[in-house]
Amino acid sequence: GDSVTQMEGPVTLSEEAFLTINCTYTATGYPSLFWYVQYPGEGLQLLLKATKADDKGSNKGFEATYRKETTSFHLEKGSVQVSDSAVYFCALGSNDYKLSFGAGTTVTVRA
Amino acid sequence: ETGVTQTPRHLVMGMTNKKSLKCEQHLGHNAMYWYKQSAKKPLELMFVYNFKEQTENNSVPSRFSPECPNSSHLFLHLHTLQPEDSALYLCASSQDETSGRDTQYFGPGTRLTVL
């Protein structure tokens, strides 16, 4: 079945450091790929999405490119801030309405 | 108010209590979802409603009873819960449920503690 595997955390960084969270997927067909973010005490918020191969999703300085050849959708940000401290979830959606979520990666950014 | 709202934000209940969680979406969507988020476990899909009809019950115990009176409102009725049911319960909505490619929009969740 469809699934995503994302980098296990926790990840601790200093402010202005470069962040990468790896996400790979297994799917039949042509899924959409998502990154959601969950700030402390809140629900999940859509961070970015990509619906087809080679699409790049971007938002708030975060980027991820849908790579069909490597079945990956890695999340990157060039210079993180303390306010980026959160749990990040990679997710996959295909013809089946269900979203397949990764386990989540906790990111802590220190000042 | 915009987006997906959930009430209450926090709930503490005993095992013999009956309580309900409420979700409302202001996005004009047709599909609504209940998820359970437990510590150190992946997000679990519980129920799906599309145009008020339940289309998925993901082997959820009967002590959880969903209700969807219209496309904007979703309830989760709780009865005789167990301590292991303590979790964050998240509601989400999407335009329709026929395609997982649709973005799901989440509410802030209800933090449930069962004593």
**pLDDT 10s per residue in chain A (111 long)?**
788 999 888 999 999 999 999 999 998 888 999 999 999 888 899 999 999 999 999 999 999 999 999 999 999 999 999 999 999 999 998 766 678 899 999 999 999
Mean pLDDT for B69-94 is 94
* pLDDT value of residue B100: 67
Closest residue to A43, CB basis, from B48, B99, B107? B107
Share of chain B above pLDDT 70, in %: 95
Structure tokens given for A61: 């300085």
Phi-psi region of A65 (alpha: psi -120 to 50; beta: other; left: phi over 0): beta
* pLDDT value of residue B97: 62
Who has greater pLDDT, B52 or B61?
A: B61
Mean pLDDT for B24-51 is 90
* pLDDT value of residue A90: 96
Structure tokens given for A43: 């629900």
Closest residue to A46, CB basis, from B31, B100, B105? B105
Q: Testing the interface with A: which of B104, B105, B110, B112 to mutate, by most A Cβ within 10 A? A: B104
**Closest approach of chain B CAs to the CA of A21, in angstroms?**
17
**Closest approach of chain A CAs to the CA of B101, in angstroms?**
5
Mean pLDDT for B51-72 is 85
Element holding B5 (H helix, E strand): strand B4-7
* pLDDT value of residue A79: 95
Q: Which residue has the tokens 């993901």?
A: B58
